[in-house]
Amino acid sequence: MTELAFLTATEIAPLIESKQLSPVELTEHILNRIDTIDPTIYSYITPLHDLALKQAREAENEIMYGRYKGPLHGIPIGIKDNFDTKGIRTTAGSKLFVDFIPDKTATTVEKLLAAGGIMLGKLNMHELALGSTGTNQTFGTTQNPWNIEYMPGGSSGGSSAALAAGLATLATGTDTFGSIRLPAAMCGIYGLKPTYGLVSTYGVIPSAWSLDHAGPMARSVSDLALMLDVMAGFDADDPASLHVPIPNYTEDLNKGMRGVKIGIPKYYLEGLESDVEKLFKNAITTLKGLGAELIEIEIPELSMATFSGYVTVSGEASTFHYEWLQTHVEDYGADNRIFLLSGTLTNTPQYVKAQQARRKMVKAFHNAFKDIDILLGPTIPITTPAFAQNWVDQNLEVIRRCLPFTVPVNLTGLPSLAVPMGFDQKGIPVGMQFIGNHLSEKQLLQVGYAWERINPFRFRIAD
């Protein structure tokens, strides 16, 4: 039975459709695991046992009477707690929103539920989606299931930890400067930051409007494709939403990567910890064996990413929080208080210079994709740290080290797929990211699927 919690949605869906597996049985099993394991992991802020079982029974009845909706029907999903859920507390991991009950549901959540997904609960996160460690002083700090002394990453640390511990089959995440991909790397799961505007962020509590992305997180690339099939699409309520044709992301996943030209920016080879460097070199050899052509390239404009990213995120985030910073500053965790107050010092010339740097990076990526199909780099340059006693300084240091690797695709709006590439010497996962051109999610998923098939990631099967 324990293995049931670690099956992918791709594996579960045919069992549910053929009535070999009951959505109620599956949901009950995962809820029992949440009761047993999550008091140690802290991946959920608000579990929703009664609602999940009600939705599971409804799904089971629909399927029994021939009204099967598709591969997400009856699949248990964890929802990051910055997605609004009507009538259900949505905290964004913050004391500011501890009693906030939205009167609407985020578009992305509505789509997943309409496809038959079961909402297990609201997942823990780094406060306000503005941190990289998963630390949360209000609702409890999420632990990494591979070793609870280590961080799960952030801000979608509850999502990554729940997936790695078998406490959800699928999960949602958001990514403003790496918050899907960084925890995916630290917990050994798969995460996709889509093209900016492909997935609606309507009903998501904002971090930085021009960099916020919503995306899927899962234990396989094929599951990401299943989720993206449902999550992608135009939303008139989202001003940044793209009105573009949406392909079937699950079709032709097994196309492989023979002949795919993969560029490795030298920028992504600098400052790597030894375990990351070793695993990345091994990954390059493997990708060549799969028939890809790998080329080192130069994108010097990436050196502007840290300045542009920090100014943009801190400036936009502090704008959203400006009034609360005047009246409720003590309700912020110390790390976010420092970060947001520094953002209030951002002036117009700095912000404009950051956007000019951003445009240069957009152009540089555009030029790079004239000659290559995919870009590749480690997701982050460091191995997962153990929690430090001085968590405030640690969070700011993790952001400083990791932001240069993750934020370039937020600034440029390009899609990036984070995949596991092995374990460090401590037995904690390490990840890499495939970066694609604008709206190239289908090819990214194909490349990621080819990688996964030859490097399957085994999750710990344990009660």
Domains annotated on the chain, with CATH: 2-454 (3.90.1300.10)
Distances (CA, A) of 44 to 157, 210, 327: 10, 28, 29
What pLDDT, on the 0 to 100 scale, is given for residue 456?
A: 80
Q: What is the pLDDT of residues 151-177, one digit of tens each?
A: 999 999 999 999 999 999 999 999 999
Which residues lie below 8 Å from residue 430, measured CB to CB, with a gap of 6+?
A: 185, 275, 276, 279, 378, 383, 384, 420, 421, 422, 423, 424
| Active-site annotation holder among 155, 200, 222, 308 | 155
Percent of the chain's residues with pLDDT above 90 = 97
| Tokens representing residue 133 in the block | 């460690």
Q: Could you give the 3-state DSSP secondary structure of residue 147?
A: strand
Q: What is the pLDDT of residues 108-158, one digit of tens each?
A: 999 999 999 999 999 999 999 999 999 999 999 999 999 999 999 999 999
Please determine, for residue 52, whether its predicted confidence score (pLDDT) is greater than 60: yes
Mean pLDDT of 293-316: 98
Nearest to 157 by CA among 109, 181, 201, 124: 124
Q: What is the mean pLDDT of the chain?
A: 96
| Active-site annotation holder among 80, 111, 122, 442 | 80
Q: What is the pLDDT of residues 218-230, one digit of tens each?
A: 999 999 999 999 9
Write the DSSP symbol of residue 409.
Answer: H
What pLDDT, on the 0 to 100 scale, is given for residue 460?
A: 63
Beta carbons within 10 angstroms of residue 286's beta carbon:
14
Query: In this structure, what are the phi and psi dihedrals at residue 215, rounded to the nearest 5 degrees?
Result: -160, 175
**Is 80 among the catalytic positions?**
yes
What pLDDT, on the 0 to 100 scale, is given for residue 461?
A: 47
DSSP string, 228-254: HHHHBS--TT-TT--------TTTTGG
**Is 159 among the catalytic positions?**
no
Please determine, for residue 2, whether its predicted confidence score (pLDDT) is greater than 80: no
Query: In this structure, what are the phi and psi dihedrals at residue 77, rounded to the nearest 5 degrees?
Result: -130, 135
| Active-site annotation holder among 156, 179, 220, 241 | 179
Q: What is the pLDDT of residues 413-456, one digit of tens each?
A: 999 999 999 999 999 999 999 999 999 999 999 999 999 999 88
> Whats the size of the chain, residue-wise?
463
CB contact at 8 A, 106 and 48: no
List, in sequence order, the alpha helices (H) in 87-220. Answer: 107-114, 157-164, 181-187
CB contact at 8 A, 190 and 223: yes
Mean pLDDT of 277-302: 97
What pLDDT, on the 0 to 100 scale, is given for residue 306?
A: 97
Q: Could you give the 3-state DSSP secondary structure of residue 416?
A: strand
Q: What is the pLDDT of residues 247-276, one digit of tens each?
A: 999 999 999 999 999 999 999 999 999 999
**Is 156 among the catalytic positions?**
no
What pLDDT, on the 0 to 100 scale, is given for residue 457?
A: 78
Please determine, for residue 83, whether its predicted confidence score (pLDDT) is greater than 50: yes
List, in sequence order, the alpha helices (H) in 217-347. Answer: 221-231, 274-289, 305-320, 322-327, 334-343
Burial of residue 383 (CB within 10 Å: 0-12, 13-18, 19+) is buried
Query: In this structure, what are the phi and psi dihedrals at residue 81, rounded to the nearest 5 degrees?
Result: -80, 20
